[in-house]
Structure 1
C-alpha cells in the first residue's frame, strides 16, 4: 500500500503551483525547520511529566530517556530555555531521527499519531514561513503591525509553533502575518437587537439598526459559509486572528481553527465581560507608577455565537511617546535587542517589578511574548510595558480584598481563583518561563538576568517562591497527547536562579 504524502510533500506540491519561485527556498528551509520543531519536542520529552517516560539520565552534555516499554531515547542535554534549533538528531535505541513527526510516530504512544501529523504540519509550515522572508534586512517599521509581522517562527517553545491545520498553502500565504498580506475582513451585518454588546460599538461599523461584525475570511469561508458583501482591509498581527484596521484599532476575530493548542473562538461570556474587565485593568495599571499601560477594549459584539464575534482594542502604539517604539516582546529579536546581559537584566527587572506588584494585588497576567509589549526609548532602553488581551488573566478575590480593591461584577468565573499556586504559575509560566526566557535565549542567560533583577525587589512570598521553587511552564506537549482533560497542564522546570544563589 502506498503511503500518503507527508505534510512537507503536500506543501511542496501546492507551492509549485502557486509560487514556484519559493520552492527552492522552501526546500532549503526544511532541515532548519525540522530542527526547530525537534528542539521544542525534545524540551518537552526532557521536562514534561509524560506518563510513558519512566526515567531520565541527565549527563553533562547528553540526556537519556527511559521509556515504559524498555526502549531508550538518546539526545543532547536539554536546556528548557534555549530557543535556537540546536537538536538536529536524536536516537531511539539504534535508529536516528531528524524528523519530529517520524520520531513521534516511532514512539507509538497514546494519541501520538494525531500529534505526529501536527508536528509534520508545523515543520512544513515553518519552512514555508521562513521561505517567504526577503533575503535583505527589512527597514525600520513605520506601523505597529510591521513589528508583529517580523515574528516568523511562532511560539518559541511549542512544537506546534507553526501548525495551521485546515489552512491550505494559499491560505497561509494570504493570511499568515509573516507573509505580510493585506487581509480583507468580511463585515457581516447582524441586527443590533440580537447582539450582546459590551463597550461602545463604533459608528463606522454600523449600518442603520445593524452592527457590522468583522469576520476573518477563513472563518467566513470554512465555518460561516458566507461570501460577498462589504469588506475592510486589515493587516494581520502575530496571532493571525487579530488584525490592525485602518486608523489604528485592532480587532480580534473568531477563528474556529486549532492554532498551536487551541481553537480561537471568542466566547459570549468574554464579550459580555470585556468592558468591565478593561476598566478593572485600567485601575490596576494606575497602581504601577506609570510602568504599565493596558490597551483599552473599545467595544465587543456577538449575536450570541462564539463563531461570530469580534473585540476591538486600542493599538499599543498609542502609548509611545516622542521618539519611542512599542514592540511586542516576541519581536524583540527584530530590533537587534537584547544587546547585552545588562539590557536583558534591565528588562527583567522592569517586567518583574510590574508583574509581582500586580500579583501582590491579586492579578496574574498572561504575560507571554504576544500579550506583553515593551516601550523602548530612541536608544533602545526599556522604559515601560504595555499589556493586551485580558481574556486569560487570573484574578484572586481574597488578595484584592486585602488591598481594598473592589472585585468588579460580571467577571467570568473561570478567571477567578484564590489558589496561590494557580496565580503564581499563571504569571511565572508566561512571563518568566515565556517572555523573559525567550528573550534571554538560554538557561544561563536567563539565570544571570533574573539574578541581577531580583536583588532589590521586595522580598514578598511570591518572590521567594519564584527564587526557591521549580519554575512552572505549560506542559504543551502533554496537553496535545492527553484526551478528555480540559484546561492547562503544567511542568516544573529547573529554576535558573539556583546556580546564582538567590
Structure 2
C-alpha cells in the first residue's frame, strides 16, 4: 500500500486535535480508514461515470471495472454502482501500485489541476474522520418532537456522492469543532449595522437599530474576511449547509459565509437579494394551487450592503409545517432515521416527491430538490405526509411553460429564468433522482424497485418519458473541480435505474 513519506493533512489534523480536543485523538485515528474508503468510493463513482478527458475507455469484467487512461496506464477497481452510498471501495490499483487514499491516487494520476483537487480530497478525508470521531456522544435517536435542526446535525458524512463531501479548506480543526453542525455547537453570530442597505421583503424588527439594518454575520467571516466593526448578536444552531443557522424557536438565517464548501465558494449575491421577495411570493402562489402537499419556507427578508460578503437572508423554519406528533426531517437525514419497512416506505416517499417535482416542472418550475433543500414531514408512524422545500436561490423558472398554463410570469431575469428543456430537467432530475432519491435508496437495486412500484401512478407529463426511460443527468462534480477555468455546472449522465443492471 502506497503511503506518504512527508507530513500530510491527516497528520496535521491529528497534531492540532491533540491540542484543542485531545480526547478525540484516538477516535479520529480509528475513523481514518473508514473516511478514506467513503471518499474513495465517491471518487470511484466519478471516475466511472464522468466524462473525464484523460480516460480513454472503460471496460467491465467479472472482477470489476478497468479504466484505460490516455497515457496507456490502467486503473482497476470494483464495479461502480452509481447510486450506492455505502463505502464499498477500500482500494484501487493504478498500474502496479495499490491506493487506499484518494488524495494520493489523484496525485499519482498526474492530471491537470489534480494537485489542488488532491489537497481538497485529503481535507475531505480528515474532516470526515473528525466528524465521525465526534458523533458517538449523541448518536441516539432524537425525540419526535425535536426541531428539524437536531435531525439535520446527525448528518456526519456530508454530500452522499461528492468526493469533496467534507472538504472545508480554510477551516482549522478548532473552527470545524466550533462551527460544523455535526459537532453540535451553538454559534454566536455577530451583527453589522448598515446604513442605506438594500432590503427586500419585511426585514425583522429585531434585526434593526432605528433606521439601520443589522446584518447577521458568521464568526468565520468576522475572523477571516470582514474588516468592519461587528457588534454582539445572538446564538443559533448551524445547519448542514454550515452558513445557515436556526434561531432557537425562530426563523433560519442564511449568512454570507464565503468559504469554499464542497465545490463552491458560497456567498449571497446582490441578484439573490433583489429577487428574493419576488421568487418567494411566486413560489408560494405556485404551491398553493398544487394538488400535492408541498410547502415553501417563505423568505421573510433579504438584505445586502451591496457586496456578497455582507448580506443575509431570513426565512421561515420548516418546522412551521409540522403538526403535533409530526417531525420535519431533511431528506439527507433519512438514511439515519428510524423508518417503517424499507421497501414500502421508499415507494411511498418516491411517489410523493416525484409527483410534486413533475407537477411543478410541467407548470414551469424546476426545483433543486437535493437532500439539503428538500425536507419531509413524517407522522407519528413515520410515514411521509407532506414535503417542505427551502432555499429558492437556485430554482429555474420557464416563462414558456408558465404561459402554456395561463400562469402569470413573475418579473424575473438572470440565471433563474430559462426555457431550455435540458436545463430544466437537469435541475430537477439531477438533484431529486441523482441526489435525494438515490441517496435515500442507497443502491441502484433499491431505487429500481421503488421506481417500478410507483411508475404507473406518476402524472403523465411531457417530462415523464425522460425520467423513466433515459439516462439521468447529474452534476459532474469531479470534472467541475478539475476544470477551474470553466464557469457554471458541468454534467454527466448516469444509467437509467429501470433499464436494469449493466445499462448505460
Corresponding residue SS for 1:79: coil
Distance 2:93 2:466 in 1: 37
Distance 2:211 2:309 in 1: 21
Ranges in structure 1 where 5+ consecutive residues have no aligned partner: none
Pairing of 1:44-443 with structure 2 (within 5 A): 44-135=46-137, 137-141=139-143, 142-191=146-195, 194-226=196-228, 229-337=231-339, 339-409=341-411, 411-443=412-444
Distance 1:278 1:208 in 2: 26
**What do residues 279-300 of structure 1 show as CA deviations (whole Å, max 9, x unaligned)?**
0001111122251000000000
Partner residue in 1 for 2:469: 468
Aligned-pair CA distance for 1:412: 3.9
Distance 1:416 1:199 in 2: 21
Corresponding residue SS for 1:370: coil
8 Å contact 2:448–2:497 — kept in the other structure?
Answer: yes
Distance 1:86 1:473 in 2: 21
**What do residues 198-245 of structure 1 show as CA deviations (whole Å, max 9, x unaligned)?**
100111111112111000000111000356522210100010000011
8 Å contact 1:332–1:338 — kept in the other structure?
Answer: no
Distance 1:418 1:143 in 2: 38
Query: Which segment drifts farther, 236-245 or 134-143?
Result: 134-143
8 Å contact 1:199–1:275 — kept in the other structure?
Answer: yes
Distance 1:123 1:455 in 2: 42
RMSD between aligned residues: 1.5
Distance 2:338 2:61 in 1: 34
Distance 2:478 2:62 in 1: 25
Partner residue in 1 for 2:486: 485
Distance 2:448 2:40 in 1: 24
Distance 1:76 1:235 in 2: 40
8 Å contact 2:192–2:229 — kept in the other structure?
Answer: no
**What do residues 253-281 of structure 1 show as CA deviations (whole Å, max 9, x unaligned)?**
00111100011100001001100000000
Corresponding residue SS for 2:307: coil
1:466 and 1:338, CA in 2 relative to 1: closer, same or farther beyond 3 A? farther
8 Å contact 1:338–1:439 — kept in the other structure?
Answer: no
Distance 2:293 2:233 in 1: 38
Distance 1:453 1:59 in 2: 33
Distance 2:417 2:271 in 1: 14
Distance 2:384 2:19 in 1: 45
Aligned-pair CA distance for 1:59: 2.4
Corresponding residue SS for 2:324: coil
8 Å contact 2:20–2:174 — kept in the other structure?
Answer: yes
Aligned-pair CA distance for 1:405: 0.9
**What do residues 104-138 of structure 1 show as CA deviations (whole Å, max 9, x unaligned)?**
00000000010000000000000000001125642
Corresponding residue SS for 2:231: coil
8 Å contact 1:270–1:412 — kept in the other structure?
Answer: no
Distance 2:299 2:230 in 1: 29
Partner residue in 2 for 1:30: 32
1:305 and 1:3, CA in 2 relative to 1: closer, same or farther beyond 3 A? farther
**What do residues 149-205 of structure 1 show as CA deviations (whole Å, max 9, x unaligned)?**
0110000000000000000000000000000000000011111xx211010011111
1:289 and 1:459, CA in 2 relative to 1: closer, same or farther beyond 3 A? closer
**What do residues 44-94 of structure 1 show as CA deviations (whole Å, max 9, x unaligned)?**
000000000000002244000000000000000000100011000000011
8 Å contact 2:192–2:230 — kept in the other structure?
Answer: no
8 Å contact 1:285–1:293 — kept in the other structure?
Answer: yes
Corresponding residue SS for 2:157: coil
Number of aligned positions between the proteins: 497
8 Å contact 1:221–1:227 — kept in the other structure?
Answer: no
Per the normalisation by structure 1, the TM-score is 0.97
Per the normalisation by structure 2, the TM-score is 0.96
8 Å contact 1:294–1:386 — kept in the other structure?
Answer: yes
Distance 1:86 1:216 in 2: 37
